[in-house]
Structure 1
Amino acid sequence: MIFNRLCCVFIPLKSDQVLFLAETHKGLNGNLKAVYDYLDNSRHDLHLVSYTKGDRRERHGIKAVLSIWKAISVSGYIFLDDLYTATSHMKVRRGQEIIQLWHGAGAYKKFGHSRKDLHVNVSGKMRVHKGYKKYTKAIVSGSRIAWCYSEAFGMDEGKIYATGSPRMDELFDNKYVKDTKERFLEQYPELKNKKIVLFAPTYRGTHVRDADYGFEQANLNQLIKRLGDDYVILTRWHPALKNNVKRGIAVVKCCDFGERIIDFTDYEDVNDLLIACDIMITDYSSIIFDYFPLDKPIIYFVYDKDDYAGDRGLYYSFDKYLFGRVSEDFESLVESVKAEDLCREKREDFYNLFLDGCDGHSTERVCRLLWNVKQ
């Protein structure tokens, strides 16, 4: 973009300016928020700037576009947690750091250069987001999965650091977990003395713009009836699915929201929901990694296991991701929720493969890659 190039020529790089960018969620959350808050508390000499929007399809006005491009052009440090469209077109300046925090821990669904089936055009060449190759650093939750991100981003593995996932730090803090659950139940007293089931699947579809889900397969209306009066279900849709539901592209079915099925998709902090729930139902979502430190039952509801693994592609065989029960049909799902099986024998291998960088101090390690920060 010409404006970017002009800024690079006429405006010096600001080594004290740190930019946080996201175009899949309004406001900072997850890894971006963890790093932002840490720097805000420990490095008062830095100027922190952020620009976010809830849907990549939203359009900014010209004034906002120019402001964002100026910030991209002059910020010494840029933090991302997903692909960001503008980075495809930006010029990376000498001394500028582009740090990819990635929104999910672990390495589950293939993405980026790893999805060769999706990105090869008619001439046989790869068509992948050009911003990937501009990252100067990327962080991962475990040392053994650095190769996955190296492949996905087309980066040298030496630029990928197993610092752990910043968003998970608070989940290793027992006092924080206890206080958060108490606060959540005070905020939602109707959930006290209930078995809280968090239903948080990923979307189905080749692209996020096609995001949908097999709502009839889960049939939450029938599930809550079968579970009984002691249970409530909280739903949390993937951002891509949420946006398509709002646009009318996807339609939620077999799920009547009310006192016993409550939608928490717009609730700000997903970690609160992980802490508050007693059981989680998910599938191929990276939320499994965030949930792991809480040591609670998880159910993988994978009604399309064989098709999904073949179509989308996983970095490892499906069994490597399991530290809970697997259900492939509705009856098995009901049984698994009631069983509350912790499957403890699978937990050590899961942690060693995906999360050996996570211990509650990941945010500090990320920041120490770039600055001297106070402990």
Structure 2
Amino acid sequence: MLSIVLPVHGVERFLPQCLESLRSDGAAPGEVELIAVDDRSPDRSGALLDAHAATDRRMRVLHLAENQGLGGARTAGLAEATGTYVWFVDSDDWLPDGTIDAVLAELRAETTRDLPADVLLTDFTHVYHDGGEEPNPWRHVLAGSPLVSGCTAAEHPALFNSVLAVWNKIMRRQYLLDLDVHFGRGYYEDISVTYPLLLAADRLVYLDRPCYRYRRGRPGAITATASAKHADAFAQYDAIFAFLDRDERANRLRTLVFDRTVKQALTIYDTPGLVPVELRAEFFARITGHFAEHRPAGYRFPSGVRGIQYRLAARGSRRAYAELRRGGRLPGAVRRGTKAVAPGVKKAMRSSARFTAYNAFRRLPIDEHLAVYAAYWHRGYACNPAAIYEKARELAPQVRGVWVVENAARAATLPEGVPYVIVNTPAYLKAMATAKYFVNNVNFPHTMAKRTGTVHVQTQHGTPLKAMGMDLREHPVAADGMDFERLREAVARWDYLVSPNPHTSEHFARAFPGTYQTLDTGYPRNDRLVHATTEECATVRRELGIAPGQRTVLYAPTHRESRGGYLPLLDLPALAERLGSGWTVMVRTHYFHDGGAGDLAARPGSARLLDVSDHPSVEDLYLAADTLVTDYSSMMFDYAVLDRPIAVYAPDWEEYQQVRGVYFDLMKEPPGAVATEQDALTEALLAGDPEPAARQRFRERFCPWDDGRAAERVVSRIFPVRK
């Protein structure tokens, strides 16, 4: 039924885990065979295989007299295979528990069909050397597609945007042999098989179960190794197009295949540390040759900047390509033709001068005493970065802080005396190019590259109830086109991630996989809440115009991806009428929504409705409020520091869970009273503090580090603090 071919070379450290993972409890005798190929391994791998084979009757070991490389070892194993299906498993990876049995069940079902699958694709997990894990980044291309029930590549061409390696593809052995394709030698050896395998199949099927754990980024992996062998890709491309020339149906997707191979070749060229410096000119010339030899008739370049990159590669214009990649000037021929190219190219040209300046500033020494701060996409002085900035002025005064803001209007909102630069000005470009420290609660622009020796501190801006980061791949509506590859690049720049509580540390490690250090410190912005006095709270209320003795509610709903802009689920005038004139209801819309809370007119004798959406400090609003009413906003976790009543109004909890995804059941672990209807919420507010025990449990889980010294702990970790 299933032959597993295991090429082995220099993986003594990883081999036992791999072999153990290939065991099966549900396979019938003879249903699985293991063919291990010792590719003249220089370590004890061959002996480990023999020892394992002595205890596992399913396994045969081939010892090759000469090293054949990964492709040659797979070919040797395939020649010995007898199964209906064959799976090429890399010996430094492993399979999750129960995988063999799950795959066999799927293959048994396939063999009973009139048209059994030629290829079974499986889901997988990336595993990093530091223990971090990442779900399949391309699952959204596969799950929920026609592949689940079975289709051809032509019926789902987006398949080629997913990983094209061989290890997550289980193929009908006779189908593979009939294709008459072969693994190449050297790097990227499997694509000369996987492309034809997918292109010619009568039926491709996707098994939506993580069946493979791929060890990513380990020392020695080709994706992290500088070598002349990266040029081996071009021989594999030649083999792919030779197959297209002789297979009419596969050739119908020639343009798609060509575009995908060009993208891969340029990615190899652009990735730092892969192509040795002395070979880069030759590699680029090979890309140009690839265009000349394999470009399909009638091929049209992609739109935007990518299309310009392809044009330059096709012409062999390596210097112009380099200038475009780093944001410099475009060649004259391209500039003269800008009326015919996409708006994205014009934008790249308009920005070229500032990136030329940025790259010039990057040649200056790093300023060891300069820190750049920003918050909420350069909207102003706020959140954790503001608290860190203030504490750094006290504990590390030798480090100058400068804030990035998007325009002069934002600059006018900064506290007096806070230095700033405006986005895209020369002062901004110089600060971004030379600063030692970077502190932000979102990511800095991807065009601002991280220099060796700089320190990037990511604070984020809330404890997550809702799914975040890479976890959003399971929730496409909430992800709304998020570029997960770009996110991964951003996370790779982080040196530190500030966490407010153990819950956040746990989930952010998965949502934002990386090599950064997590600072389990608590949120610096909440120090103010810990230290707040009765006098400070009274002052804030006076500044907001709240009369003494008023019972004050802060209503702060979160953003809902499925509903677009601000849509109040509460009938605020009706709520104000029920509460009466002794109340004030402050309304704070999410910062994604412009225009505030709209018309808040209330009848005489009702509570006062006060739109505080544009108030610069949410901490002020916390201090002014006697009670918080929210739904799924992270504000509940911060407000809990004050140990004041919280009410959750969640009329759409089931929908929100499905669309956004959540990390725990808020209905079972709320911070206070929970209501799904407005009348019940009103009664909870009028009752005063109906759920103090729930709030206590919530505080114990989410506020254990809130002792008023979080900013001090962060500053002491990232800056040279004066004793």
**Which category of TM-score, normalised to the shorter sequence, fits these structures?**
0.7 to 0.9
Q: Give CA-to-partner distance per residue, 1:229-251, whole Å, 9 cap, x none.
A: 1111111111102x2x36xxxx7
Match of residue 474, structure 2, among 117, 127, 132: 117
Alpha-carbon spacing, 1:190–1:76, altered in 2? closer, same or farther (3 Å): closer
| 1:20 has 2:400 as partner | no
Q: Once superposed, what is the RMSD of the aligned Cα atoms?
A: 2.8
Pair 1:142 & 2:501 matched: yes
Runs of 4+ in 1 over 4 A off after TM superposition: 118-121, 125-128
Equivalence for 1:256: 601
Structure 1, residues 340-370: CA drift from partner, whole Å, max 9, x if none?
2252322343234323222110000000111
Structure 1 pair 330–162 and aligned structure 2 pair: CA distance change class (3 A):
same
Structure 2 equivalent of residue 277 of structure 1: 625
Show the counterpart of 1:301: 649
1:107 corresponds to: 464
Which residue of the partner structure matches residue 453 of structure 2?
Answer: 95
Aligned CA distance change for structure 1 residues 96 and 62 (closer, same or farther; 3 Å): closer
Does 1:194 pair with 2:550? yes
CA–CA distance in structure 1, aligned partners of residues 486 and 450 of structure 2: 18
Say whether residues 1:338 and 2:686 are aligned partners.
yes
Answering whether residue 582 of structure 2 is matched by residue 230 of structure 1, we say yes
Rounded to whole Å, the distance in 1 between the matches of 2:426 and 2:376 is: 16
What's the offset of the Cα at 1:127?
4.6
The equivalent of 2:427 in structure 1 is: 67
Structure 2: give runs of 5+ residues left out of the alignment.
1-325, 328-354, 408-420
**Tell me, what secondary structure is at the counterpart of 2:560?**
coil
Q: Which amino acid aligns with 2:635?
A: I
Residue 16 of structure 1, CA deviation: 0.8
Q: Show the counterpart of 2:264.
A: none
Distance 1:25 1:211, change over 3 A: farther
Tell me, yes or no, if structure 1 residue 151 matches structure 2 residue 518.
no
Query: Partners in 2 of 1:301 and 1:46 — Cα distance?
Result: 44
SS in 1 for 2:431: helix
Give the C-alpha shift of residue 309 in structure 1: 1.3
Aligned residue number for residue 7 of structure 1: 361
The answer to whether the 8 Å contact 2:645/2:672 transfers is yes
Mapped to 1, the partners of 2:427 and 2:544 lie a distance apart of 40
Q: Report the alpha carbon displacement of residue 252 of structure 1 after superposing the two structures with TM.
A: 3.5
Inter-partner Cα distance in structure 2 for 1:63 and 1:347: 42
Taking only the aligned residue pairs, the percentage that are identical comes to 24
Map Cα deviations across residues 84-112 of structure 1 (whole Å, 9 max, x no partner): 3x1x23321111111001111x2211121
Q: Which amino acid aligns with 1:96?
A: T
Give the greater-gyration-radius structure (CA).
2
Distance, in Å, in 2 between the alignment partners of 1:342 and 1:67 is: 54
In structure 1, how many angstroms separate the alpha carbons of the residues matched to 2:423 and 2:581?
53
Deviation at 1:212, TM superposition (A): 2.1
Structure 1 residue 371 corresponds to structure 2 residue 716: no
Kindly indicate whether residue 452 of structure 2 is the aligned counterpart of residue 78 of structure 1. no
Tell me, yes or no, if the aligned pair for 1:177 and 1:275 is still in contact at 8 Å: no
For 1:177 and 1:25, how far apart are their aligned partners in 2? Answer: 30
**365-374 vs 196-205, which deviates more?**
365-374
Match of 1:39 in 2: 392
Q: Deviation string for 1:166-192 (max 9, x for gaps)?
A: 00011112xx33121121233345521
Higher RCO, 1 or 2 (CA under 8 Å, sep at least 6)?
1
Q: How far apart, CA to CA, are the structure 1 residues paired with 2:687 and 2:486?
A: 43
Q: Relative to structure 1, is the Cα distance of residues 237 and 73 closer, same or farther in structure 2, using a 3 angstrom cutoff?
A: same
- Correspondence list, 1:319-334, <5 A: 319=667, 321-334=669-682
- The equivalent of 1:57 in structure 2 is none
CA deviation vs aligned residue, 1:131-169 (integer Å, no higher than 9, x gap): 22211110101134312112222224x611111000001
The equivalent of 1:132 in structure 2 is 491
Query: Are 1:182 and 2:534 matched, yes or no?
Result: no
- Which deviates further from its counterpart, 11-20 or 188-197? 188-197
Matching residue's letter, 1:6: A
1:118 CA displacement = 4.6
Q: Using the alignment, how far apart are the partners of 2:360 and 2:602 within structure 1?
A: 52
Instruction: With the length of structure 2 as denominator, give the TM-score of the two structures.
Output: 0.45
Whole-Å separation in 1 of the counterparts to 2:443 and 2:688? 37
Question: For 1:270-293, what per-residue CA distance to the aligned partner results, in whole angstroms no more than 9, with x for missing partners?
Answer: 112111111111111111111112
Q: Distance in 2 between matches of 1:145 and 1:63?
A: 31
- What is the match of residue 168 of structure 1? 526
What do the CA deviations read for 1:2-33 (whole angstroms, capped 9, x no partner)? Answer: 4344332x211111100002344632111111
Q: What is the aligned counterpart of 1:347 among 673, 695, 698?
A: 695
Equivalenced residue count is 350
Residue 204 of structure 1 corresponds to 560
* Contact 2:554-2:585 at 8 Å conserved across structures: yes
Match of 2:322 in 1: none
Q: Does structure 1 residue 50 correspond to structure 2 residue 403?
A: yes
Task: Note if contact 1:172-1:293 (Cα within 8 Å) is conserved in structure 2.
Answer: yes
Q: Given that residues 23 and 53 in structure 1 are in contact (C-alpha distance below 8 angstroms), is that contact kept between their aligned partners in structure 2?
A: no
One-letter amino acid matched to 1:350: F
1:63–1:132 distance in 2 versus 1, CA, 3 Å = closer
Is the counterpart of residue 358 in structure 1 residue 358 in structure 2?
Answer: no
Q: Partners of 2:375 and 2:504 in 1: how far apart?
A: 24
- Amino acid in structure 2 at the alignment position of 1:117: E
SS at 2:404's partner residue?
Answer: strand
Give me the whole-angstrom Cα distance separating, in 2, the residues matched to 1:165 and 1:321.
21
Partners in 2 of 1:370 and 1:194 — Cα distance?
43
Q: CA deviation at 1:66?
A: 4.0
| Cα gap change, 1:188 to 1:115, in 2 (>3 Å) | closer
